[in-house]
Amino acid sequence: MKGRKLLKFGFYLPTRIHFGQGIVQEIGNIAKLYGKRAFIVTEKKLVKKLEILQPLEERLKKERIRPLFFDRVKPNPSSEIIYKGANLFKEEKCNLLIALGGGSCLDAAKAIGILAKNPTPLSFYFGKNRIKKDIPPLIAIPTTAGSGSEVTPYAVITDTEGKNYLKKVIADPHLFPREALIDPALTISLSSTLTSDTAIDALSHAIESYLSRRSFPLSETIALEAVHIIGRYLPRALTNLLDMEARSYLMYAATLAGLAIAQTGATLLHTMGYPITSSFGLPHGRVNGFLLPWFWEYSFPGNPEKFSRVITCLLKDAKKSWIKDAKKSASFLKEFLHRSGLPETAGIKVKEEFLSQFARKIAESKEKIALSPKELTFEEILTIYKKAFQN
């Protein structure tokens, strides 16, 4: 078989995945393997809407596990809330973490786990591989089809100890959950806006992983499958929010995209999105959606063949006449995103001086620039910001 040369690669996934409608009902059987005092990290509004806490509590108590609910997490969790959670975890002598919610809840649980077993400050752990001791066993139960945090070694936290309250990443193999209970039924009540925002986040994960210079054949296969599924099922889910098959496939795609970025990391696109989310409060996935077509257009020359393959997987009506053209393919990607719920404009006005500050800081991210399909300059990064958030 003729094809690309297989280079050396490694694929590490210590998380055991349980997938399927109703799988969350197995929480008691799984949790009893790890501890008897469970600290459940979640969001107050979410659990009221899902009406899941009581059955969850009953299944845990049936296995003689005492649950403690910590429901103070909000989108883009702050260092402050992590300290509160970690202190309570230790005071109550908990020995098991359960994260129930979207990416913010899962990331918060990971960070709480760090401080439950490692010394403060949290800011010490921003960056790569700085955790010395294992976090408590973590069971992740995602309720959105987006972040993929249930299968990644990452936690994104808003650093409220710093000057600018920026979102920062902790990357460490210690952060992989032990178990992931991925139940598509938990997403059935999501609004069209949240369905769109989270799915676009998953799409950006998959595209970035595939385009990353750190990608390899196995990660690329997983990433492209996620792209294909989102292209097929996101419009369908938005047409009928109660379509369980579409919901299931979107959940599956988000997990696949998480698996992919767990191996390759994201590219400069994600790094560009963080200061916008931190400064203006826009949902993370939506910010990625505004940036993606312009990042695509300016990065396309770095690997036209790969970009063409992505757009072919995403859009079944892709035409050979435009898939190899940077501007045309970016335009069709943009149309797909708008059909999939992305607003026409971001609804914010960002002064050029702020965008310039963001771009200058991003241009210093040498590793992310090197991993991206094309090494973007400060001027190109600034132009992408302007086109996404000033036009």
pLDDT digits (tens, 9 = 90+) for 60-108: 999 999 999 999 999 999 999 999 999 999 999 999 999 999 999 999 9
Q: Where are the alpha helices (DSSP H) in the chain?
A: 27-31, 44-50, 53-62, 79-91, 103-117, 192-211, 217-239, 244-264, 268-280, 284-299, 304-314, 320-323, 326-339, 352-363, 366-371, 378-389
List 40's β-bridge partners, or say none. Answer: 69, 98
Domain limits, CATH 1.20.1090.10, in the chain: 192-389
pLDDT of amino acid 5: 61
Domain limits, CATH 3.40.50.1970, in the chain: 16-187
pTM (whole model) above 0.85? yes
Would you say 31 and 139 are in contact if contact means Cβ atoms under 8 Å apart? Answer: yes
pLDDT of amino acid 320: 66
Q: What is the pLDDT of residues 317-337, one digit of tens each?
A: 766 666 778 999 999 999 999
pLDDT > 70 in the chain, percent: 97
pLDDT of amino acid 6: 63
Residue 166: CB partners within 8 Å, gap ≥ 6?
158, 159, 274, 275, 278
Look at residue 284 and tell me whether its pLDDT is greater than 50. yes
pLDDT of amino acid 338: 96
Long-range contacts (CB closer than 8 Å, 24 or more residues apart) made by 380-386: 380/298, 381/268, 381/272, 382/355, 382/356, 383/294, 383/298, 384/272, 384/291, 384/294, 384/295, 384/298, 385/272, 385/291, 385/350, 385/355, 385/358, 385/359, 386/352, 386/355
- Check: CATH 3.40.50.1970 for 16-187? yes
pLDDT of amino acid 96: 98
pLDDT of amino acid 1: 40
pLDDT (average), residues 115-124:
96
Query: Confidence band (pLDDT; 50, 70, 90) for 367?
Result: confident
pLDDT of amino acid 52: 85
Q: What is the pLDDT of residues 352-361, one digit of tens each?
A: 999 999 999 9
pLDDT of amino acid 50: 74
Query: Confidence band (pLDDT; 50, 70, 90) for 350?
Result: confident
Q: What is the pLDDT of residues 7-21, one digit of tens each?
A: 788 999 999 999 999
Helix, strand or coil, per DSSP, at residue 69: strand
CATH tag, 192-389:
1.20.1090.10
Q: What is the pLDDT of residues 214-241, one digit of tens each?
A: 999 999 999 999 999 999 999 999 999 9
Please state, rounded to an integer, the average pLDDT across all residues of the chain. 94
